[in-house]
Structure 1
Amino acid sequence: MYAALWRLLPGPTWLKVAEAAVLLVAVVWILLAWVFPTVEPHLPFDRITVGE
């Protein structure tokens, strides 16, 4: 998968590295801004069962 993504990115190696970094930052930002806040109410972090 990573090799296919690398081949799809246009430009020389230094530009591909910059584009990959921008894509990584965008994915992390989307996860932190929308995905995790949407999923968090459904996760069992507030139901701790240690000691029972």
Structure 2
Amino acid sequence: MYAALWRILPGPAWVRVIILLVLLAAALYGLFWYVFPWAGQFINPQESTVGG
């Protein structure tokens, strides 16, 4: 999968690395600002401690 992604990106290697970093940053931004807060509504963590 990663090799296929690498082959379809345009430009020399350094341009591909920059494109991948921008895509990674966009994915993380979307997860932290939209997906995780939305999913947090449905997850009800219980108060728990380790040990006792």
- Give the TM-score range, shorter chain: 0.7 to 0.9
Q: How many residues align?
A: 50
Displacement after TM superposition at 1:4 (Å): 1.0
Which residue of 2 is the match for residue 18 of structure 1? 18
Q: TM-score, normalised by structure 1?
A: 0.83
Q: Percent identity?
A: 44
Supply the AA of the counterpart residue of 1:48: E
Unaligned 5+ runs, structure 1? none
Which 4+ residue blocks in structure 1 deviate beyond 6 angstroms? none
Displacement after TM superposition at 1:48 (Å): 2.3
The alignment status of 1:40 with 2:49, answered yes or no, reads no
Which residue of 1 is the match for residue 9 of structure 2? 9
